Structure 1
């Protein structure tokens, strides 16, 4: 006869391996909206690219989302931090992302994927948009769509990032950005069972910022215009230092600029690190998610792991252990203060908005493009859109059976965090800040002195995760 303990263990294992899926997200005017609950999704996020550009090695089948053990470690930290979204810049469409995508899905974290990469031929060349917009480039872009369209926690795709970074580059590039968006959206319409938003990530270059947004959100051919952005991301570091305010940072100007946006606008990067070497206090978080900025849809902090530019929340050590920086603790403290009810509430100004028709009157800069004739797809692209790319790598959710993080993670005080694990969320929930701290469950075991100190997010402990499931298991057995 199987013992009661053995029955509990078997039932617990079966509960842990259940595949939950977050609700998919749609765009409704200014907002990202949960397709089931109709609650607003305000992006509480982090840019996630461990290793930077060197972490992308398609020849070896390696990218940010190809190692399940690494994703388990980072998902646990990001879950404890309280984020609900990550942005991933460089992905290999041929790599297997099932385990990583499923882990992030299990903890209620969405993914926004860039369809481009830093390698030659895998992005639009701002100095030669016409020459780089070709069938080979779009074949790879469609491969990214194929690889991620099957994951319900794929929130959106970025068609491009900071292609326009000054007035000269704003002359020829805007029509090509819209062309890429049109092609991606037409491919999704043909080959995906759901709509997935597609948009652009812009540099905060004030002479062209408003024109970029105006050009990308307007309608050329009415409501069926597929070249129009579904959302607008902004990489902005204007809030700098603990003494910055809503006014001195220019956040008041941004709020006014985007108050009547007909698409969601959010910070696709934020978190100024000047002066370098000083922990960031992230007091802009209160403004981004406060009542004055409800027209915007949150943001993504740059960035998760420490790279040469010194923006990291965590340090990933050579032996794959992680050390949290004070920046991580400070950001977590700010997230824990957020009013989640306010964040999930619909913005009253977002209803009844209609996208303007594209016209030269929308553009204020003398050097910005006023050409709304979007380039036709290159030869062969319509065939790819109609029939699909050859041998697509279609990702799908898999069971997440491992929850405990196998490598050591150290809090910012140097002590090891105990029982670090992901906590799969029931009922298709997205993650929210949980009031946790990174130093509450540590021992005096210090981080290795030979390893660089990195800051990061910590997941809820396995003890907490299993205690709820154990209670369910015991209840089922006692009633049987």
Structure 2
């Protein structure tokens, strides 16, 4: 009996297996171990919204392990394999949350900016906000998250270009920030981590923004200022729409020649309400997966803008909204095991050469001469930020959720917990149950690893018990 109890306890305390860091190859995200193209099944995750970001509070969305465990367990049920987090404090410790989402089979898409002054580009006068202290803050985000294997990508900007006026001045500065971030990663990370831009779906500037960031200056595909990915926040599919009525067909036609991965960094129109998420089967159909790499649903927590799937309460309990299970039912209509097993293409479109003729809209910036690195910033790029944040995957001793979670009808969810997945596995919607499951690795691998680890320490347990005068049964 005692041995069995010890085994059970050790099973929950083993170090979680890690997801495989993804790579960008041409216009696809690729798992280097399997050669499969990756489709993002994502969730925007920013409890409290932009107004909830306050460095003085000593917390951010990835600083409380109990909250992350609660939400990771729920997102596992959905089948989410990636979260997007907008506002982070590089000075906080994120090891527990990153380790939880890693074990749950979820990658992290991270913005390096925040809404606070000095922590993002000023779209009205970007030259006034592009300086060393601002860049230092973006580099600190990289330092804090570069060592987690589930850090998928960084966004150098989010909707900074939203009309022709901002398109006239902002693009060179966003591209310069991308350059600086990529050079910092090259110097201080043990693996390449993609950097890209999250665009507003404003059609008058969308094509020019995409071309401005994906093109190669002087035809150099290795140009460090060139974005590794391009994403868009799009809310054109509302209610019972279709591929054509929503304009998704136009977006596929626009991006089919992309030389970088394209995906939705936000989607999920909230009118009519409750939402129906009928775009899900289309986003993950062969109409789109050859061009789009999935998308991120906006958003997990209910905020004033009424896009949430879950009401996250001050006492850390959660009340699920009807949209949560509606989204789950739409995911379950898709064969994600088949979609995530498609081999990546061996070829990709060649990026266009940066030239003024590439820009179509009159007034949008067509000059590809970028701002020089600000005074003092090159030293940081070369030597690293000081003090230097760090992160690592850690052992989680207990995967169970401590706070009550209720269904939309008030029913308490029993025994909610994160299920650690095997090495190289990512979470995926499971049509047969209310829980997510792993893909790319056998589901039995994690329990087997836990049992093996427990068996290795049985002799020491026996010795301790025997010395205490107890008899093993």
TM-score normalized with structure 1 length: 0.89
1:252 aligns with 2:261: no
Which of 262, 268, 288 in structure 1 is aligned with 2:283? Answer: 288
Unmatched runs of 5 consecutive residues or more in structure 2: 438-442, 460-473
The aligned counterpart of 2:306 is: 310
Residues 290-313 of structure 1 show CA distances to partners (whole Å, capped at 9, x for unaligned) of: 010021100000000000000001
SS in 1 for 2:425: coil
The aligned counterpart of 2:22 is: 25
The aligned counterpart of 1:64 is: 61
Residues 164-223 of structure 1 show CA distances to partners (whole Å, capped at 9, x for unaligned) of: 111111001000010000000000000000000000000000011011101110000402
SS in 2 for 1:292: coil
The aligned counterpart of 1:376 is: 372
1:323 aligns with 2:281: no
Superposed CA RMSD: 2.2
The aligned counterpart of 2:471 is: none
The aligned counterpart of 2:39 is: 42
Residues 413-441 of structure 1 show CA distances to partners (whole Å, capped at 9, x for unaligned) of: 21011000000001231111123666xxx
Which of 413, 417, 423 in structure 2 is aligned with 1:421? Answer: 417
Q: Taking structure 1 as reference, are residues 14 and 339 closer, same or farther at Cα in structure 2, changes over 3 Å only? A: same
Correspondence list, 1:172-187, <5 A: 172-187=169-184
1:199 aligns with 2:196: yes
The aligned counterpart of 1:451 is: none
SS in 1 for 2:232: strand
SS in 2 for 1:155: strand
The aligned counterpart of 2:98 is: 101
The aligned counterpart of 1:223 is: 221
The aligned counterpart of 1:298 is: 294
The aligned counterpart of 1:144 is: 141
The aligned counterpart of 2:268 is: 271
- Looking at structure 1, the residues matched to 70 and 341 of structure 2 have their Cα atoms a distance apart, in angstroms, of 32
- Looking at structure 2, the residues matched to 93 and 159 of structure 1 have their Cα atoms a distance apart, in angstroms, of 15
- Looking at structure 2, the residues matched to 475 and 8 of structure 1 have their Cα atoms a distance apart, in angstroms, of 14
SS in 1 for 2:74: helix
Which of 113, 116, 120 in structure 2 is aligned with 1:119? Answer: 116
1:81 aligns with 2:94: no
Deviation at 1:362, TM superposition (A): 1.2
- Looking at structure 2, the residues matched to 476 and 231 of structure 1 have their Cα atoms a distance apart, in angstroms, of 43
The aligned counterpart of 2:466 is: none
Say if 1:203 and 1:234, in contact at 8 Å, map to a contact too.
Answer: yes
- Looking at structure 2, the residues matched to 470 and 375 of structure 1 have their Cα atoms a distance apart, in angstroms, of 54
- Looking at structure 2, the residues matched to 273 and 207 of structure 1 have their Cα atoms a distance apart, in angstroms, of 23
Say if 2:35 and 2:343, in contact at 8 Å, map to a contact too.
Answer: no
Deviation at 1:475, TM superposition (A): 13
The aligned counterpart of 2:234 is: 236
Deviation at 1:473, TM superposition (A): 4.4
The aligned counterpart of 1:455 is: none
Say if 1:211 and 1:368, in contact at 8 Å, map to a contact too.
Answer: yes
Deviation at 1:145, TM superposition (A): 0.3
Number of matched residues?
448
Deviation at 1:14, TM superposition (A): 2.5
Deviation at 1:351, TM superposition (A): 1.9
Unmatched runs of 5 consecutive residues or more in structure 1: 439-457
Residues 2-38 of structure 1 show CA distances to partners (whole Å, capped at 9, x for unaligned) of: xxx2212222333322231110011011111112222
Q: Taking structure 1 as reference, are residues 401 and 170 closer, same or farther at Cα in structure 2, changes over 3 Å only? A: same
SS in 2 for 1:293: coil
SS in 1 for 2:427: coil
Deviation at 1:241, TM superposition (A): 1.1
Deviation at 1:340, TM superposition (A): 1.9
- Looking at structure 1, the residues matched to 171 and 114 of structure 2 have their Cα atoms a distance apart, in angstroms, of 19
